[in-house]
Amino acid sequence: MADSTASSLSETATGQAHPLLEVRDLAKRFGGLKAVDHCSFQVERGTITGLIGPNGAGKTTMFNLITGFIKPDSGRILLDGQDIGHLRPDEIFMRGMCRTFQIPREHGTMSVLENLMLVPAGQTGELWWNALLRPGQVRSEEARHLHKAQEVLEYLQLTHVQHEYAANLSGGQKKLLEMGRTLMADPQLVLLDEPAAGVNRTLLQSIIKNIQTMARDRGITFLLIEHDMNMVMSLCNPVIVMSEGRKLAEGEPEAVRNNQAVLEAYLGGQYATAAG
Ligand SMILES: Nc1ncnc2c1ncn2[C@@H]1O[C@H](COP(=O)(O)OP(=O)(O)O)[C@@H](O)[C@H]1O
Ligand SMILES: [Mg+2]
């Protein structure tokens, strides 16, 4: 894993002038509803950036736009200075951006290990002509893939359930598996949609620790949506606040927490209690 860290670090070093991710004046309507309403923000390399806001603020829609699952009506999305607004989700994934879903999307009838092995990391084995022309290379690629999956399992402390059907995991373990799937792809940017939701306290601590280590040791940048304010306050800096499709505030967690407009947006919304 040390090798892949070194290469992803040198790659990111080439684009120092740009923020890793930039969203410019992005807009998306669903019928008459402005889910994302001319929203702009940047995510700087190496940060764990929080994206918060009351229920219905447009956070998940923003993730769906950034990762190519839905197309914006207008505005731009730049990854490392390059426009990715026209790319498909798999193309965006191949550029090093991975996401987890608010509801984990594991393959329930496959084992935990198989779920990790499924993740395409630009592996040679995918190209059928490589299998014909270079079978040896494909085999060693597979072996490396397996080795990596085992490392990821160990890292996330899921080794003891590697042969379980993914469907049998607890909610928290499924979240860890989702995180593992992003790690298999050597991402530079990981988007997490409510990693703490439905997770017990012990597992939550391990998720927080994992995010911090991945950011520190592997140089991965995180953008995460979260309603658990303790998690946001202890993990994220900066914090971006969305409300009604727009960016309402941005800054250090303490400043954002005490921002009057932010307090009002939460109090006005139905999430007032859950966010407190
Ligand atoms: N596919 C969709 N079709 C219609 N409306 C949607 C769709 N996705 C989201 N919305 C609406 O867009 C708004 C923002 O939703 P969402 O991005 O899920 O908010 P958040 O994640 O901040 O809670 C909500 O009013 C939601 O009902
Ligand atoms: Mg959401």
* Closest-approaching ligand to the CA atom of 61: 1
Q: Tell me, in angstroms, the distance from the centre of ligand 2 to residue 117's CA.
A: 28
Query: Residue 159's CB: how many other CB atoms inside 10 A?
Result: 15
pLDDT at 52: 96
Of 82, 68, 74, 62, the residue nearest 18 (C-alpha):
82
3-state class of 105 per DSSP? Answer: coil
The model's confidence at residue 157, banded by pLDDT at 50, 70 and 90, is confident
How far from chain centre, in Å, is Cα 34?
24
pLDDT over threshold 50, residue 126:
no
Q: Please provide the average confidence, as pLDDT, over all residues in the chain.
A: 84
Q: Tell me, in angstroms, the distance from the centre of ligand 2 to residue 14's CA.
A: 33
Of ligand 1's atoms, which has the minimum distance to the CA of residue 36?
14
Q: How far apart are CA 243 and CA 187, in angstroms?
A: 29
pLDDT at 117: 87
pLDDT at 154: 86
Q: Tell me, in angstroms, the distance from the centre of ligand 2 to residue 122's CA.
A: 30
Arithmetic mean of pLDDT, 147-159: 87
Q: Which residue has the tokens 């040679």?
A: 124
Distance separating the N- and C-terminal Cα atoms of the chain? 39
Q: How far apart are CA 138 and CA 133, in angstroms?
A: 10
For ligand 1, atom 26, which residue shows the shortest CA distance? 56
pLDDT at 9: 41
Q: Supply 18's token pair.
A: 């740009």
Maximum mean pLDDT: which of 28-37, 99-108, 178-187, 228-237: 28-37
Of 34, 36, 39, 60, the residue with max ligand 1 atoms within 8 A of its CB, to mutate for a pocket test, comes to 60
Give the pLDDT confidence of 12-53 residue by residue, as tens digits: 455 457 999 999 999 999 999 999 999 999 999 999 999 999
The domains found in the chain, sorted by start residue, are 2-106+187-275 (3.40.50.300), 110-168 (no CATH)
Of ligand 1's atoms, which has the minimum distance to the CA of residue 102?
21
In this structure, the residues whose C-beta lies within 6 A of any atom of ligand 1 are 30, 33, 35, 53, 55-61
The model's confidence at residue 137, banded by pLDDT at 50, 70 and 90, is low
Q: Tell me, in angstroms, the distance from the centre of ligand 1 to residue 53's CA.
A: 13
* Closest-approaching ligand to the CA atom of 62: 1
pLDDT at 48: 97
Maximum mean pLDDT: which of 70-84, 100-114, 211-225: 70-84
pTM: 0.80
Of 55, 61, 67, 248, the residue with max ligand 1 atoms within 8 A of its CB, to mutate for a pocket test, comes to 61
pLDDT at 273: 46
